Structure 1
Amino acid sequence: MKNSLLLCFLFISLFGYSQKKILQTKFISEKIEIDGKLDETIWQSAPIASDFVMLTPDNGKKIPENKRTEIRVLYDNDAVYIGALLYDESPDKILKEITQRDNFGTSDLFGVFINGFNDGQQDFQFFVNAADGQADCITTDSNGEDYSWDAVWKSKAVITDKGWVVEMRIPYAALRFSAEDKQTWGLNFFREIRRDRQKYTWNFIDTKLGTFTQQTGILEGIENIKPPTRLFLLPYSSFYINASDKQKTKGTLKGGLDLKYGINDAFTLDMILVPDFGQTKYDDKVLVLGPFEQQFNENRPFFTEGTDLFSKGNLVYSRRIGGNPSIYPEINNDEEIIDNPASVNLINALKISGRTKEGLGVGILNAVTEKTKATIRNNNTQEVRNEVVEPLTNYNVLVLDQRFRKNSSITFVNTNVTRNGSYRDGNVSALVWDLNTKKNTYSLTGDFKYSFVNDIENKKGVNSQLNFSETSGKFRYGIGADITTKDFDNNDLGINFETNYYSLYGNASYRILNSTKHFNSFSARFDTYSQFHKESGKIQSGNLNFQINANDKKNRSLSIGIDANPVETYDYYESQQANKYVILPAKIGGFIYISTNYNNRFAIDFNPSYAIFNESGRTTYGFDFGPRYRFNDKLSINYNFSFFRRNNNKGRIDSIDDDLNTNTPNTVIFANRNVITYANTFSGKYALNSQMSFNISLRHYWSYAENKNTLALQENGRFTDFTGYTTNKNSSFYSWNADLSYSWWFAPGSQVSILYRNNAGAFERNINKDFRNNVTNLLTNDALNHTFSISVRYFIDYNQVKNKF
């Protein structure tokens, strides 16, 4: 009888959780002051959303009564209002670190998730932390959370003797919804109690399912509102002072305009006219010893915001736009390059993106970069000439993404790069699919890509992959395969390192869905990957990986991993010559990652690793060590030291033409070398309040490769000693970056930024192993550049201007 009652209770509980909660809202005509007090009488008559349930770690557990959460929603002709009472029996224990926008910090958190079309496809999420900071993002199941998206809205958080209160005003211009007279929106609320690392939602989200956006509740009662004219202008003005020992101090005044316009209720036009990216975060450059370029993060806001559609198929590497010139100038023996621009100026860019109620997403991105020349001087005649290193170039991306059944999509993507004149052009088309069962238990994903390059010799290539996986429950698995032909090339607007191969891979994983006696979360995963050269069938990669990730009851994180390549593999890339390969030895290695509780004032991250190869004396080892300290809610600092060493590493350094009557290099020279890397990073912030903060970011990097002896690559992929090579091919690269900034959000969407930056970098063949002198020389040499800049951006909403006049 007891078992029957228990089964009945579980059935009723699960049935209740599976239902979407419904909240009614009310129209208001009186003004609401966003002050975190909820003292307007209309709040008391609004229906309440309560009975929150835990998301993690005990999925489905009811929120305790002493931490109950009550939410009310109101609306008028311009905005929706949210009032939240977040009870806490210990208000003095509420964590409330002050941080910059989109950084939660060590703080309690409240969020509201809105889907104006109620189609389970995309949520607009708005967060407020207990320190009165804001964050917002767009969330989809396929791409997760995109915090580069920023909206303009108002909020206020206040800590009381009963907990804390949040009041929010979200204008309709920050949302997307249809023009129907009676609205039905998808809605959910979120609360994190940081000191307990517990997360709750109003409508139950079952973590066994592979979806988040489809498990929202319902908001009803909004009627007779119209989507507003979404026209936003963001004019800006910047002033720069640049100085270094190599050039005179120079001041530059810049100005421009960003524009956002809602074409209709679904689509938005974004434009930048006369762009200014002078205050963008610096790149963490490293010593590149292999055949592949370094891939950089995109830090320019225009290219990071709302990139959900443009990330489909992984065909767009936006750093190509306005990046390094695509052509290296040709010079004669008596000439030298005296000026070769490191980047190409962006003239303008626009993008159109959005999704219809029927689920059709459309994305268009277009950018134009200017003609760029290098300056070359003849050392005999002193004559100077210019050579084009990048012609006037147009970059274009088109995405058509049809979603159906709320959780599946089929996408067409085309990228096109057209360079003015007789220069290389590139075009890539792709069909991408993401198919999920109705209950989100299994998925079939993949793509087919076709590239065409119009150059001296036209090239056509294909890349395709197919993956099947189980996406729900404690035990999950996946299998897949992909193939890439020799001439596949998407590097005009994308980035791709390897071609001419096929691969097979699979994975299996286990995770707990609720906390246990010892762990809040625990997962284990096994991956296997095998890659084969397409023409010869030789194995290029054979990898086995096992990893455990856990978070204990004291909120300490632990990861342990073992990585093995149990057989010799054939590397067709390192030689940088067609059909020549290097045999790589088998290896096995592992790592440990330990992170203490960030809720504490003092916390440490520690990550040692070690690997040994099946080759005498060849090993790799290193560690990352990162202490952090939070002095108070305003002041905190983070430091990280990284060290990594590769012993008896083998890498290409040159090639020699054995036959002077040909221009084809026949002998590829490798070096047996030790590679040592140090990196120091320091960051800190002092926040006066949630709108005003000082920040500092420092990075020193040094990596060098010291060649012990030279080797010649044989046809069988192995090496012989090569004693006749005497050229110094050691490599030493060191760099320094420092940013000191002040940021003030003086009005919604409007910001003043003041930045002082200095940086330096150098590449040398002679290695100075005195670490202290290395740093001192870097900071005192004539390569140190100084920049001081002030930027003012002001947000103008057409609707507010219209109402005033």
Structure 2
Amino acid sequence: MNKKFLIATLIAASSTAAAFAQDGLLKKYAQRLSTPRNYVCYRTTEKIKIDGKLNERSWNKAAETESFVDISGEGFPKPIYDTKARMMWDNDYLYVAAVMEEPNIVGHFTQRDTIIYHENDFEVFIDPTGDGQNYFEIENNARGVVFDLMLDRAYRSGGNFHIQWDCPGLKIAVSHDGTLNKEKDKDRSWTVEMAIPHKAITRNFTNPLVAGNIWRLNFSRVEWLKKGGPEENWVWTPTGEINMHAPNQWGFLQFSDKNVGGETEEFRCPYNMEAYKLLWAMFYAQLDNREKQGAFTSSTALLGVTDSDLATLPKGSNVNIEATSTLFSISVRVGGTGKTYVVDQNGKFEVK
């Protein structure tokens, strides 16, 4: 294909970044560029019974996530009911548990792969490789009925979903602090507990579930406060829009070889977040440019990249854009690291 090349060499001092951060693409797309939350996931040596009750000592020791927030992020109302999750792992499973405050526990769907989010549900999104491709979604309602699927890429990039994928070996159970489908009484909460087999969500050998690796993961709770909607979307880490299918904004799940409740370790962010955010700001700008102009562009000026955007990057960084009318590749070589972040029109993210 014929490619147009644009290379901008950038020299930036970190001391000047804050002064310019209010301009350009970083400001335009700030709502969708919040720093994702993170969770250090520890091992359990205890046999976990998947019954929705979280009686094991390991669960009591596992740290809770922050309370869920509105999917659109900062500036939007705090959810009226609290939700927190916890995670652990062992040689076979990733364990997930969540407790959801709920004064009226409801769940009517009984058939697997019904579109569960048409009623109150809990959802897990997992991208083990962190490339935004071929990721997994597992939903369940208060009956424990599952809707699981795999997506080849996000819908914004023309992604397709594969409902025929059933998570092999998945174990799931729910419990109720209250009564199911009885509107006249007042309930307190419902709890979901999952054991997700490593092998079921391992696409290749690039990032298996082993200590030291980091996956991308998010949780969503769909809540219908009134019949007919609109629905509420409460999540662990916000995507900045009413769209869970933005894997670049999912949380970081770091696996530790230490036992849950014992010695702790610090989270180690795998990316330079200034470079990461600018890369994705340019990605969003490309999508918007195509919407308005009918094509992608290799021009940073047309994308709206400003000097203030570039000034946020580490000294010695380099931006490269290759584009045709239908394809693009954006890369940011991160100064001082020897690493280059790359994203294409399909939302495929790589570190080279």
Task: Please indicate the TM-score interval, normalised by the length of the shorter structure.
Answer: 0.5 to 0.7
Matches within 5 A, 1:511-660: none
Q: 2:71 aligns with which of 45, 48, 55?
A: 55
Given candidates 234, 247, 253, the residue that maps to 1:200 is 234
1:59·1:207 contact (CA, 8 Å) conserved in 2? no
- Is 1:98–1:133's contact at 8 Å kept on the other side of the alignment? yes
Unaligned stretches of 5+ in structure 1? Answer: 1-6, 225-404, 407-435, 444-467, 481-805
Which residue pairs with 2:43 in the alignment? 27
Name the structure 2 match of 1:150. Answer: 166
Instruction: Determine whether 1:95 maps to 2:106.
Output: yes
Match of 2:192 in 1: 166
Partner-residue secondary structure (3-state), 2:71: strand
- 1:31 deviation in Å? 0.8
- The one-letter code matched in structure 2 to 1:186 is R
Q: Distance in 2 between matches of 1:189 and 1:437?
A: 21
Match of 1:477 among 292, 298, 322: 292
Higher strand share: 1
1:183 aligns with 2:217: no
* Count of aligned pairs: 229
Cα deviation code 1:75-108 (max 9, x no counterpart): 11110111110112x12xx331123111135421
CA contact (8 A) 1:54 1:60 kept: no
Matched, 1:36 2:60: no
Q: Quote how far apart the aligned CAs of 1:54 are.
A: 1.7
- Provide the identity percentage: 27
Relative distance call for 1:96 and 1:15 in structure 2 (3 A) is: closer
Contact kept? 2:71, 2:237, Cα under 8 Å = no
Distance (Å, rounded) in 2 between the aligned partners of 1:134 and 1:209: 20
- TM-score normalized by structure 2? 0.57
1:174 match: secondary structure: helix
Structure 1 residue 478: Cα displacement: 4.9
Q: For 1:209 and 1:41, how far apart are their aligned partners in 2?
A: 36
- C-alpha distance in 2, partners of 1:24/1:120? 21
**2: CA distance, partners of 1:72 / 1:41:** 13
Report the Cα distance in structure 2 between the residues aligned to 1:204 and 1:172, rounded to whole angstroms. Answer: 25
Structure 1 position 211, deviation (Å): 6.3
Partner of 1:128: 140
- In the TM superposition, residue 134 of structure 1 has moved relative to its aligned partner by 0.5
Query: Which structure is larger by alpha-carbon Rg, 1 or 2?
Result: 1
Structure 2 counterparts to residues 341-356 of structure 1, below 5 A: none
Distance 1:202 1:144, change over 3 A: farther
Amino acid at match of 1:219: L
Name the counterpart of 1:77: 91
- Give a deviation string over 1:39-86, Cα, whole Å, max 9, x none: 112111111112322226x8862533x511110001111101111101
Match of residue 62, structure 2, among 46, 59, 76: 46
Q: 1:86 aligns with which of 91, 94, 100?
A: 100
Counterpart AA for 1:121 = Q
Instruction: Report the secondary structure of 1:70's partner residue.
Output: strand
Residue 174 of structure 1 aligns with an amino acid whose one-letter code is A
Aligned ranges for residues 258-407 of structure 1 at < 5 Å? none
Q: 1:442 to 1:144 in 2, by over 3 A?
A: farther
Give distance in 1, aligned partners of 2:61 and 2:108. 33
Distance 1:183 1:131 in 2: 33
Asked whether the 8 Å contact 1:20–1:218 carries over to 2, the reply is yes
Rounded Cα–Cα distance in structure 1 between residues aligned with 2:31 and 2:257: 30
What pairs with 1:418-429 in structure 2 (closer than 5 Å)?
none
* Secondary structure of 2:62's aligned partner: coil
Structure-1 separation of matches of 2:77 and 2:135: 24
Tell me if the contact between 2:94 and 2:195 (Cα under 8 Å) persists in the aligned partners.
Answer: yes
User: How does the TM-score come out when normalised to structure 1?
Assistant: 0.26
Secondary structure of the residue that 2:249 maps to in structure 1? coil
Taking the aligned partners of 1:442 and 1:15, their CA distance within structure 2 comes to 14
> Cα deviations across residues 470-502 of structure 1 (Å, max 9, x unaligned)?
37xxxx53526xxxxxxxxxxxxxxxxxxxxxx
Distance change (3 Å), C-alpha of 1:144 and 1:163: farther
Whole-Å Cα distance in 2 between the matches of residues 201 and 133 of structure 1?
A: 20
1:104 aligned to 84, 101, 115, which one?
A: 115
Offset at residue 16 of structure 1 (A): 11
| 1: CA distance, partners of 2:63 / 2:189 | 20
Deviation, 1:222, is 3.9
Alignment-mate amino acid for residue 120 of structure 1: G
Letter in 1 for 2:108: E
Partner-residue secondary structure (3-state), 2:59? helix
Which deviations, in whole Å up to 9, do the C-alpha atoms of 1:198-229 show, x marking residues without a partner? Answer: 111111102299961111111113449xxxxx
1:441 paired residue number: 284
Task: Within 5 Å, give how 1:227-266 maps onto structure 2.
Answer: none
How many angstroms does 1:145 deviate by? 3.4
Q: Deviations over 1:755-779 (max 9, x none)?
A: xxxxxxxxxxxxxxxxxxxxxxxxx
Kept in 2: contact 1:102–1:135 (CA 8 A): yes
Does the C-alpha gap of structure 1 residues 25 and 62 become closer, same or farther in structure 2, counting only changes over 3 Å?
Answer: farther
Q: Report the secondary structure of 1:43's partner residue.
A: helix
Superposition deviation, residue 149 in structure 1: 1.8
* Distance in 2, Cα, partners of 1:479 & 1:156: 48
Once the two structures are superposed, what CA deviation does each residue of 1:321-357 show, in whole Å capped at 9, x if it has no partner? xxxxxxxxxxxxxxxxxxxxxxxxxxxxxxxxxxxxx
- Counterpart of 1:33 in 2: which secondary structure? coil
| 1:247-272 alpha-carbon deviations (Å, 9 max, x no partner) | xxxxxxxxxxxxxxxxxxxxxxxxxx
CA distance in 2, matches of 1:121, 1:60: 30
- In the TM superposition, what is the alpha-carbon distance from 1:118 to its structure 2 partner? 2.3
Cα 1:144–1:203 shift into 2, 3 Å: farther
The match for 2:125 is 113
Q: Which residue of 2 aligns with 1:214?
A: 248
The structural deviation recorded for 1:192 is 0.5
Once residues 159 and 208 of structure 1 are traced to their aligned partners in structure 2, the CA distance between those partners, rounded to angstroms, is: 28
Q: Report the structure, 1 or 2, having the larger helix content.
A: 2
Call closer, same or farther: CA 1:60–1:165 in 2, change over 3 Å.
farther
Is 2:81 aligned against 1:67? Answer: yes
Match of 2:150 in 1: 138
Q: Hey, what's the Cα distance between the residues in 2 that align with 1:87 and 1:17?
A: 29
Q: CA RMSD in A?
A: 3.5
**Amino acid of the structure 1 residue aligned with 2:91:** N
Q: Any unmatched runs of 5+ in structure 2?
A: 1-21, 178-186, 259-274, 296-352
- The question of whether the paired residues in 1 share the 8 Å contact of 2:62 and 2:88 is answered with yes
Change in Cα spacing, 1:40 to 1:97, as seen in structure 2 (3 Å) is same
1:159–1:165 Cα contact (<8 Å) kept: yes
Which letter maps to 1:188? N
Change (3 A) 1:59 1:107: farther
Query: Could you give the per-residue CA deviations for residues 430-475 of structure 1, whole angstroms, max 9, x where no partner exists?
Result: xxxxxx97532244xxxxxxxxxxxxxxxxxxxxxxxx8537xxxx
Three-state SS of the structure 2 residue aligned to 1:72 is strand
- Are the counterparts in 2 of residues 209 and 441 from structure 1 also a CA contact under 8 Å? no
Residues 1:118 and 1:87: Cα distance change in structure 2 (over 3 Å): same
Code of the aligned partner of 1:470? N
